[in-house]
Amino acid sequence: MNPTRITTRTLVGAAVLSVLAALSSTTHATPVSSWTKSAGSTAITGLDTANPVFGNGTANSANGYQIYAALPETYTLSAVGDTLTFSGSVSLTIAGDSGADQFRFGLFNTNNSSTTTGWLGYFATNSGTGANPNGRLWERSATNTTAYFNNGVGMADERQAFAGSPAGKFGSGNYTFSFVLERIETGLSVTWSIVGTGSTTYSIGGTYKDTSPLTWSFDRVGLMSGGGLNASLASFSGINATYTPATPVPEPATWASLAALLTLGIAFMVRRQFICR
């Protein structure tokens, strides 16, 4: 049995694999945990996990909560193609169909605020019935002075509004939700969705091209269940934030490993040439 021969081709192949591994390592999907409650009662658990729970099963006990969590770092979408995604799932127990656009989720920039007011960013809502039949995408205004999910006059600007499908049927069931921000040539693409899974058929979502975004940087995510949600339980799961740079930059440790491999390859080739003389 012949021993394995280390050839130049082998070393080049190993180097290529190292580069590919380095490039793939720059997409960071991170569970979002360490939540802070800024509004709501005491029927809430799992704030130190990616699976928080609002309510205890009694009527309306899951209403009125607002929570936020810091991202692992401040992500700045500085290059065309840079993408930041906030996503997760939620199981809702609602009395009938929700009468208002009271399930909200968003991506924010604290804007150097030490409180929960004055944040910039975007948040989306479900569609319901009654006074708020449409789901909406909101952008926090530059001069806002209220908490991050407030959509009062002058506090947030409505960017999209339309009914879900089926209209007015946001009720008990299982849903996925997603926010995707992508830097594009003309500004920022904001894509959002709430999609029922399994037997839950409700869905809503859209894409808005913001040609003059107020911020390119994001450091917080948030979840809200308003007083009109009529929910006794909201169980979240698998909440993640994923940052994908347009041009992957290998981690320092990977660069070090690659440099060591290339150094070894050069030494091998020099030694081989010396032996062949």
Q: What is the pLDDT of residue 267?
A: 54
Q: What is the pLDDT of residue 98?
A: 74
SS3 category, 16: helix
251 — pLDDT class (breaks 50, 70, 90): low
pLDDT tens across 193-218, in order? 999 999 999 999 999 999 999 999 99
DSSP string, 25-63: TT-EEEE----EEEE--S-EE-TTSS--EE--SSTTTT-
Q: What is the pLDDT of residue 19?
A: 47
Q: Are strands 120-125 and 103-109 parallel, antiparallel or unpaired?
A: antiparallel
Q: How far is CA 267 from the centre of its chain?
A: 46
265 — pLDDT class (breaks 50, 70, 90): low
CA 186/CA 212 separation, integer angstroms:
9
Q: How far is CA 158 from the centre of its chain?
A: 20
- Is residue 153 pLDDT above 90, yes or no? yes
Give the closest residue to 206 by CA, choosing from 198, 220, 195, 214: 195
pLDDT tens across 40-77, in order? 999 999 999 999 999 999 999 999 999 999 999 999 99
Q: What is the pLDDT of residue 277?
A: 58
Q: What is the pLDDT of residue 87?
A: 99
269 — pLDDT class (breaks 50, 70, 90): low
| Average predicted confidence (pLDDT) for the chain | 87
- Is residue 24 pLDDT above 60, yes or no? no
- Which of 79-93, 165-179, 231-245, 250-264 is the least confident region? 250-264
Q: 25-248 — its CATH code?
A: 2.60.120.200
Q: What is the pLDDT of residue 101?
A: 80
- Domain boundaries, given as residue ranges, for the chain: 25-248
Q: Where are the beta strands (DSSP E) in 143-202?
A: 156-162, 171-184, 187-197
- Is residue 21 pLDDT above 50, yes or no? no
6 — pLDDT class (breaks 50, 70, 90): very low
Percent of the chain topping pLDDT 90: 72
